[in-house]
Amino acid sequence: MKLLKTLYSGCEDNGEVADIKNCIIKFEAGSSGAHPVLLSRYALDLYKIQTLAQEGLITKPYKICVLIRTGLMGAKYSESNKTTIDETIMWWAENLHPPSCGVIYSFYEYDGPLGLQITQPLSTQVIWPFKKSMQAKRDGDYITYQKYPDALKGRFSQKYLDAMQSGQVDVMDRIEELSTYKVIEITYAMSDEEIAELLKHSKMHFTYDGGTYAFAACTNTPTVCFGAPTHMSHPSNWWEDGDQHQDSVQITIWSNIHFGARIPATRVGGYDFEKETVVQRPQRYMYHANTPLELESIIKGFPFTVSNIEYSVDD
């Protein structure tokens, strides 16, 4: 293995370096630069570290060894991408909110073939945010969107075909004429920093089921998913600050009732900056538009509600 760099997040540079005796996060497949994968790899460990730090069980910076397969070094999904996969992996570590004890990330390049049949499983149990300074302000005079990339259209992916059949892609093709605000398209020709800055100030974001769906979660920017209609779950109970709440929440990628241990949509792990503590509650940023008319109405200013929080582009 080759040590690439060590990053000290939320702590001073004490000269210590993480290695394979410490917590390991591994990026081994070509999809490693995808936002859901990045969030999946980092979020669960950061959530657990913060939980233990709050309980006083971790009192000094926690070491994480990040392994990046050689084939990912300098690689891009397409030539139009501004950043390479390894740059994106390191950027996410640097900009995710560090646990109160601090984290020491050491990044290593290691040899091995790409495209392994067995990779680390994707986890959608935790949404871990970017740093507090990167959280949504919604003070810009614009909305943002990301459309289906040509690569998906060219492969006639089922996801794209379903989105076309929903009628919502046609609405998004008219977003500039429907919106009373300036419309900015987000693309991967932008750096991660540029995307984060646009989302931070955007009044509202629109994306397909993919793209910046997970990225927007880290800035908590109110976001509408188009082309992937969903349904409401059964009412679910959840607790916060000793009080019981009941919500009927949409099934999103953060709702795990169909997988594994059947963790309900109301028990998504996260971090609350105001309370400075980990939380388990419904996600609070993503809404799936269910019809073309609903999507068009939202673009024009019609409100929608996520976990009892009402959003509108005119907020």
Q: 221 and 291 share a domain?
A: yes
* Within-domain flag for 189: yes
Task: Check: CB of residue 314 under 8 Å from CB of residue 298.
Answer: no
**Mean pLDDT of all residues in the chain?**
89
Question: In sequence order, what are the residues at sequence separation of 6 or more whose Cβ sits closer than 8 angstroms to the Cβ of residue 45?
Answer: 23, 25, 64
Q: What phi and psi, each to the nearest 5 degrees, are found at residue 71?
A: -65, -15
Q: Are strands 243-247 and 236-240 parallel, antiparallel or unpaired?
A: antiparallel
Q: 152 and 298 share a domain?
A: yes
pLDDT at 259 over 60: no
Q: Render pLDDT for 6-18 as a digit per residue (tens, 0 to 9).
A: 999 999 999 999 9
* Dihedral of alpha carbons 248, 254, 260, 263, sign: negative
Listed residues 114, 146, 163: the one ending a domain: 114
The number of domains in the chain is 2
* Within-domain flag for 119: no
Task: Determine the Cα–Cα distance for residues 203 and 184; give it in Å rounded to an integer.
Answer: 11
Q: 152 and 269 share a domain?
A: yes
Q: 202 and 79 share a domain?
A: no
**Nearest in space to 114 (alpha carbons), one of 74, 69, 79:** 69
> In the prediction, which pLDDT does 151 show?
65
Q: 93 and 222 share a domain?
A: no
* Within-domain flag for 102: yes
The more confidently predicted of residues 282 and 243 is 282
Task: Check: CB of residue 199 under 8 Å from CB of residue 221.
Answer: yes
Q: Which residues of 145-161 are buried (b: 16+ CB within 10 A; e: fewer)?
A: bbbbbeebeeeeeeebe
Q: What phi and psi, each to the nearest 5 degrees, are found at residue 233?
A: -80, 175
What tokens appear for 178 in the block? 């429907």
Listed residues 96, 114, 132: the one ending a domain: 114
The more confidently predicted of residues 163 and 266 is 163
Q: Are strands 236-240 and 223-225 parallel, antiparallel or unpaired?
A: unpaired
The mean per-residue pLDDT over the stretch 87-92 comes to 96
The mean per-residue pLDDT over the stretch 49-57 comes to 97
Q: 95 and 130 share a domain?
A: no
* Within-domain flag for 41: yes
> In the prediction, which pLDDT does 54 show?
96
The mean per-residue pLDDT over the stretch 105-118 comes to 79
pLDDT at 260 over 50: no
Helix (H) or strand (E) holding 6: strand 2-9
302: helix, coil or strand?
A: coil
Domain that holds residue 278: 124-315
The mean per-residue pLDDT over the stretch 40-45 comes to 94
**Nearest in space to 208 (alpha carbons), one of 256, 267, 164, 268:** 164
Q: 138 and 262 share a domain?
A: yes
pLDDT at 96 over 80: yes
Task: Determine the Cα–Cα distance for residues 238 and 267; give it in Å rounded to an integer.
Answer: 7
Task: Check: CB of residue 207 under 8 Å from CB of residue 213.
Answer: yes
The mean per-residue pLDDT over the stretch 286-303 comes to 96
Q: Render pLDDT for 142-174 as a digit per residue (tens, 0 to 9).
A: 999 999 877 666 666 788 888 888 999 999 999
* Dihedral of alpha carbons 150, 152, 154, 159, sign: negative
Listed residues 70, 89, 114: the one ending a domain: 114
Q: 238 and 314 share a domain?
A: yes
**Strand partners for 254:** none
HSE on the CB side for 80, CA within 13 Å? 7
* Within-domain flag for 159: yes
Q: What phi and psi, each to the nearest 5 degrees, are found at residue 241?
A: 55, 35
Q: 261 and 167 share a domain?
A: yes
Q: 260 and 204 share a domain?
A: yes
Q: 164 and 247 share a domain?
A: yes
* Within-domain flag for 88: yes
Q: 6 and 92 share a domain?
A: yes
Question: In sequence order, what are the residues at sequence separation of 6 or more whose Cβ sits closer than 8 angstroms to the Cβ of residue 164?
Answer: 227
> In the prediction, which pLDDT does 149 show?
77
pLDDT band for position 19 (cuts 50, 70, 90): very high
pLDDT at 284 over 50: yes
Task: Determine the Cα–Cα distance for residues 222 and 216; give it in Å rounded to an integer.
Answer: 8
pTM score > 0.85 for this model?
Answer: yes
> In the prediction, which pLDDT does 282 show?
87
Q: Are strands 103-110 and 23-27 parallel, antiparallel or unpaired?
A: unpaired
Q: Render pLDDT for 175-211 as a digit per residue (tens, 0 to 9).
A: 999 999 999 999 999 999 999 999 999 999 999 988 8
HSE on the CB side for 301, CA within 13 Å? 5
